[in-house]
Amino acid sequence: MSGAATFVPTPLLLSDSAKARLHALIEEEGNPRLKLRVYVTGGGCSGFQYGFDFAEDVAEDDTLVEFGEVGLVVDPLSYQYLVGSTVDYEEGLAGARFLIQNPNATTTCGCGASFMV
């Protein structure tokens, strides 16, 4: 007889390109306390949309995921939609932006800024 399997959900991941860009932005601001706040709001063409902002303070009920010198902050409502996601950064013809690769999304819009679960 085998024991029960243990499952530990992956909170959030940060790609190498996102780490590098976030680190550069923090250095430009000259404030090592800055974190990238990732959140979900209603709206967008698919129902929910992603948002990004800088946060210096972390609320008691926020989740802080640290990656060495940089970190992500997520509020409890957004966290449930983002578990297992990867925050990435890309530069291309459409410009430069942070984006989310979300395994929980059943539908996403063409630009990747909104999703549905």
Binding-site residues for iron-sulfur cluster, please?
Answer: 45, 109, 111
CB 78 within 8 A of CB 67: no
From the number of C-beta atoms within 10 Å of its C-beta (0-12, 13-18, 19+), residue 18 rates as buried
Contact (CB, 8 A) for 90 and 84: no
Look at residue 96 and give its three-state secondary structure.
strand
Annotated binding site: 45, 109, 111
HSE of 108, CA atoms in CB hemisphere, 13 A: 12
Q: Which residues contact 111 (CB under 8 A, 6 or more apart)?
A: 94
